[in-house]
């Protein structure tokens, strides 16, 4: 049994301790979070996180699945033309997280960038009242790797894979930033932008995908920006890099059900994939002529839709892990 006087003594000691601690806090101020540069340079071992990273465009949301064993490798997964502002399509529509859950590579899935081609634009789009100028290439090659470096991810041991718009962009980023990326993949990308009618087709697609004006991106069709971002033109810069490039036939397959997707959407997915196939076949010839090796995949069935991109990412996975030494 504790005497009342004993309880009072304990209470006085607790009160004194609390007041002393409060005095220290009052003098020193609140404890500040560690600055990013002071965080231990070791990636978390597994787990999922969403972060907001400052950029010239404003805060950019990034969904991250950390490497299973705290490794320093990263795989950037880029979205398509109709990228959403709330979630990356790879996280929403595929099992990419499950595919790489046991691997020592961090999945980096930036959110947003509709119709951006993940490039630095000349100006905001004046057709839809865009307030800021897209600066996606700068974000993906400066602000984002700067942040990831504070969490233990290497600035140089990375791969980048994208679908459709993101496929073309993935190859462009890899070609122009060889110090950052060791491997790249394009799934149903458009890889010959200088082909007759392609620049006009992209202009129409961007108008449909959010009302964006292509002139604000790379300037007029004869502008140098179009050539810089055309895989057919910069193909020689990919020499020596592991590449995974795919496009299906456009014929409906196991992931197609017009009763769910709708007849119009299914028809669109067929035509878009057929165009990507023609572009990718031309790009295959281009790389062969240049003596640039790549792993190509041309499934007999498949349309421009997520189920097939999920399948192709699984096929690309061994190449990616080998290139990054991330098994």
Over residues 133-186, the pLDDT tens digits come to: 999 999 999 999 999 999 999 999 999 999 999 999 999 999 999 999 999 999
Over residues 231-262, the pLDDT tens digits come to: 999 999 999 999 999 999 999 999 998 766 66
**Percentage of the chain modeled with pLDDT above 70:** 86
Check 55, 115, 154, 164 and give the catalytic one: 164
pLDDT, residue 263, reads 62
Q: Is-catalytic flag, 164?
A: yes
Q: What pTM was estimated for this model as a whole?
A: 0.87
Q: Which residue, 38, 106, 100, is CA-closest to 75?
A: 106
Write out the DSSP string of 136-168. Answer: HHHIIIIIHHHHHHHTT--SSSEEEEEETHHHH
Q: Which residue, 302, 108, 124, is CA-closest to 213?
A: 124
Q: Phi then psi for 42, rounded to 5 degrees?
A: -145, 120
Q: Is-catalytic flag, 304?
A: yes
CB–CB of 67/101 below 8 Å? no
The full set of domain ranges for the chain reads 1-32, 46-324
Query: Could you tell me the CATH superfamily of domain 46-324?
Result: Alpha/Beta hydrolase fold, catalytic domain (3.40.50.1820)
pLDDT-wise least confident of 42-51, 176-185, 238-247, 298-307: 42-51
Over residues 191-203, the pLDDT tens digits come to: 999 999 999 999 9
Q: Any idea which residue has 């878009």 for tokens?
A: 272
Check 116, 304, 305, 312 and give the catalytic one: 304
258 membership: H or E segment, kind and range: helix 258-261
Check 115, 116, 137, 273 and give the catalytic one: 273
Q: Would you say residue 10 has pLDDT above 70?
A: no
pLDDT, residue 18, reads 32
């Amino acid at each position: 049994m504790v005497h009342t006087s004993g309880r009072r003594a304990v209470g006085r000691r607790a009160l004194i301790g609390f007041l002393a601690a409060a005095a220290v806090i009052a003098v020193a101020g609140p404890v500040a979070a560690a600055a990013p540069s002071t965080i231990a340079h070791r990636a978390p071992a597994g787990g999922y996180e969403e972060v907001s990273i400052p950029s010239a465009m404003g805060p950019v949301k990034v969904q991250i699945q950390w490497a299973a064993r705290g490794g320093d490798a990263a795989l950037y997964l880029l979205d398509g033309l109709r990228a959403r502002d709330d979630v990356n399509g790879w996280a929403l529509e595929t099992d990419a997280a499950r595919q790489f859950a046991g691997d020592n590579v961090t999945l980096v899935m930036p959110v947003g960038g509709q119709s951006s081609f993940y490039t630095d634009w000349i100006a905001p789009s004046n057709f839809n009242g865009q307030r800021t100028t897209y600066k996606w290439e700068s974000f993906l090659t400066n602000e984002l790797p700067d942040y990831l470096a504070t969490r233990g991810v290497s600035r140089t041991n990375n791969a980048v894979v994208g679908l459709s718009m993101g496929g073309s962009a993935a190859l462009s980023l890899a070609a122009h930033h060889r110090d950052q990326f060791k491997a790249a993949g394009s799934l149903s990308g458009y890889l010959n932008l200088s082909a007759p009618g392609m620049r006009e087709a992209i202009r129409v697609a961007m108008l449909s995908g959010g009302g964006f004006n292509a002139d604000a991106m790379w300037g007029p069709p004869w502008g140098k920006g179009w050539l810089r971002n055309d895989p057919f033109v910069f193909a020689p810069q990919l020499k020596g890099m592991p590449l995974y490039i795919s496009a299906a036939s456009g014929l409906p397959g196991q992931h197609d059900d017009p009763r769910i997707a709708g007849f119009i959407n299914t028809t669109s997915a067929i035509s878009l994939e057929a165009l990507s196939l023609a572009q990718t076949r031309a790009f295959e010839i281009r790389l062969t002529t240049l003596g640039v090796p790549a792993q190509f995949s041309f499934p007999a069935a498949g349309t421009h839709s997520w189920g097939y991109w999920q399948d192709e990412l699984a096929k690309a996975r061994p190449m990616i892990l080998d290139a990054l030494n991330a098994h």
